[in-house]
Each structure stands twice: as C-alpha cells, then as structure tokens.
C-alpha cells in the first residue's frame, strides 16, 4: 500500500506541513496558538523521523550519501533553531509572523532538497520491503502529531506540556527506535 512506503509517507507529511503553515497563517487570533502547536508537533515528529530513519540509510546507500545528508542536516538544523525560537517566544511575540514566514521558507526549501536529492535516489536504491519497514517506523511516531484539532483537549497548558518541540522529538525518537528494533 502506497501509504506504508516511507517515501510516500514523508512526502504526504511535507504536504501536511504546508497545510499546517496555511492554517496558522489563516487562523483567527484565538486559534493561532493551537494551530502553531500542531505545526510544531508535526515538524518535530517529521524531522526526527527523517533523522532517525532515512538519513542514516541514505548516508550508507547513496553515492555521495554523506554529502547529501550533510546538506539536508544543515537545512534541518537551521529550521529547528527557528522553530525553537518561535516556540520559546510564543505567538504574541512582535516578530512572530515575520519569523514564521522565515521558517516556512526554510522548511519548504529543505523539503524540496530532500525530495529532489535524497528521496528520489533512495527510492531507486531500496526494495519495497525496506521502504515499508522504514514506513512502519514513521507511522509509530505519527500519533504524536495529530493534524486535526481535538476539541476540548487542546488547552493552552496541555499544548505547552505536550508541544515542547524538544520533548516531542525525544518521544518520537524513542518510539521510532523501538519500531526499528534498536532498543
């Protein structure tokens, strides 16, 4: 099934991330924080999944894999720093919108880089079974990043506790490593 394939799953998440940026940008003022919380969780889970699952594989399997992955990690780290700053300063910070736009540009350029230089080549160098096994590990962490709002469960406090990017990344890493049989 297409959605079990790691490349299909990650590309679908790229689409969801684009939609979540739209949602934050279009949200009425009282919904911005919740929408930004969903975006934060999705980005945290997505980038952790790539770091734990596909980048190590690409590094080993692709010609110049080291270089391709180093470039992606460089982009990823920049996006992560922007995300952490935005999260720490909160949605009421005077430069929130300006920096959100900066994050969006960085994240989208990064996603294009992955699709063009990493995913396409990875697909050519992996079997369906390998891609499905990697896909299952992405799925294992996906529950941490619900795309739709859950009415009544998204209080500001809960958002703060569950939505801390570093906490989500840690939890995602744990679930992924378990799924990959690494712990």
- Residues making contact with Fe ion (CB under 5 A): 47, 50, 76, 111, 114
Toward Fe ion, which CB reaches closer, 50 or 52? 50
Residue whose C-alpha is closest to residue 97's, from 44, 147, 45, 36: 36
The CA distance from 80 to 10, in Å, is 17
**Smallest separation, CB 46 to Fe ion (Å):** 6
- Block residue for tokens 């891609």: 131
- Cβ distance to Fe ion smaller for residue 33 or 76: 76
Q: Whole-number minimum distance, CB 29 to Fe ion, in Å?
A: 29
Under the phi-then-psi rule, with left for phi > 0, alpha for psi from -120 to 50, and beta for the rest, what region is 126? beta
The DSSP-derived string for 47-70 is: HHHIIIIIHHHHHHHSTTHHHHHH
Please state the closest distance from residue 42 (CB atom) to Fe ion, in A. 11
Q: How far apart are CA 73 and CA 58, in angstroms?
A: 12
CB of 90 to Fe ion, least distance (A): 25
| Of residues 72 and 87, the one with the C-beta less far from Fe ion | 72
Instruction: Tell me whether residue 131 or residue 154 sits nearer to Fe ion (CB atom).
Output: 131
The answer to whether residues 5 and 128 touch, using CB atoms and an 8 Å cutoff, is yes
Q: Give the relative orientation of helices 6-26 and 32-49 as an angle to the nearest 10 degrees.
A: 160
Give the nearest distance from C-beta 14 to Fe ion in angstroms.
6
Closest to Fe ion by CB, 60 or 158: 60
Report the residue number, 74 or 178, with the smaller CB distance to Fe ion.
74
Report, in Å, the least distance between residue 37 CB and Fe ion: 19
- Determine whether 131 is exposed, middle or buried from the number of CB atoms within 10 Å of its CB (0-12, 13-18, 19+): buried
Closest residue to bound Fe ion by CB: 50
CA angle 73, 140, 170 (to 5 degrees): 50
């Amino acid at each position: 099934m297409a959605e079990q394939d790691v490349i299909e799953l990650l590309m679908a998440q790229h689409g969801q991330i684009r939609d979540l940026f739209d949602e934050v940008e279009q949200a009425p003022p009282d919904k911005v924080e919740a929408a930004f919380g969903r975006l934060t969780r999705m980005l945290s889970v997505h980038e952790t999944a790539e770091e734990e699952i596909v980048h190590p594989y690409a590094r080993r399997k692709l010609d110049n894999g080291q270089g391709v992955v180093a470039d992606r990690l460089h982009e990823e780290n920049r996006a992560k720093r922007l995300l952490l700053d935005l999260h720490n300063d909160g949605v009421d910070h005077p430069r929130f919108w300006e920096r959100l736009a900066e994050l969006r540009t960085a994240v989208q350029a990064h996603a294009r880089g992955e699709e063009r230089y990493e995913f396409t080549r990875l697909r050519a160098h992996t079997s369906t079974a390998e891609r499905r096994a990697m896909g299952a590990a992405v799925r294992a962490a996906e529950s941490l990043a619900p795309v739709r709002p859950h009415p009544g469960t998204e209080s500001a406090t809960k958002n703060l506790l569950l939505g801390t990017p570093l906490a989500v990344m840690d939890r995602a890493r744990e679930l992924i490593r378990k799924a990959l049989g690494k712990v």
